[in-house]
Amino acid sequence: MKKVAVIDTKAGNLFSIFSCVRRIGFEPELIQSAEQISQKEFVAMIIPGQGRFGTVMSNLRSSQLDKVIIDWYQSDKKIIGICVGMQIFFEWSAEDLDNDGLGIRGLGLVKGTVTKLKSPKQPMVGWCEIDASISLLQQKTVYFVNSYAVKSSENEIATTYYGEQFVAAIQSKGLMAFQFHPEKSGSQGEEILQQCLTQ
């Protein structure tokens, strides 16, 4: 069975993503160090998506997995980012502040800033239809859990609306990333992940 590297951000429950990856015919492996990546052959990398931006970035930097992600991205290998796992590819997030009172710096691989949603309720929790420019994501209703998002991006391939329009998915090099949770979006989400891993 083909292996998928799931990056350990030390934030959130991994059960849903592991279960979904197995259901669509792949074997997930939790990656906690750079050495694990070099020891085995992986068809793709997944960065799961729960937790606060600042906590996730701090954990990635302390384990040096941020460098692993950057190298993987720059090598044009397949990456799937989910929720916060999408947001970290951008330049900054206002969700947390550093010691100087500024936003937290992301990986900076995609231009854009993560800001608080002007949504009717915080956080946004539930199903929402997305407006997509690629067939894989068209006519899909998917599951969101977030209070922060990117309002627009030159790499966006899907948007949605909840109080205001924001980016629902991006694509850049080998990266396909989602603000929503495909692993919690039923059969439509499974189809999205399966296509991402097999294309």
Q: Quote the crossing angle between the two packed helices 186-198 and 15-23, to the nearest 10°.
A: 70
Among residues 20, 95, 181, 196, the one annotated as catalytic is 181
- Distances 50 to 16, 30, 53, 84 between C-alpha atoms, Å: 11, 15, 9, 6
Which of 20, 95, 183, 196 is the catalytic position?
183
- Of residues 84, 150, 147, the one with CA closest to residue 114: 150
Q: Is 83 a catalytic residue?
A: yes
Q: What is the dihedral of CA 67, 68, 72, 74, to 10 degrees?
A: 10
| Residue in the structure block whose two tokens are 């969101």 | 144
Note if 181 is an active site residue. yes
**Catalytic residue (choose from 20, 83, 95, 196):** 83
Which residues are the active-site residues? 83, 181, 183
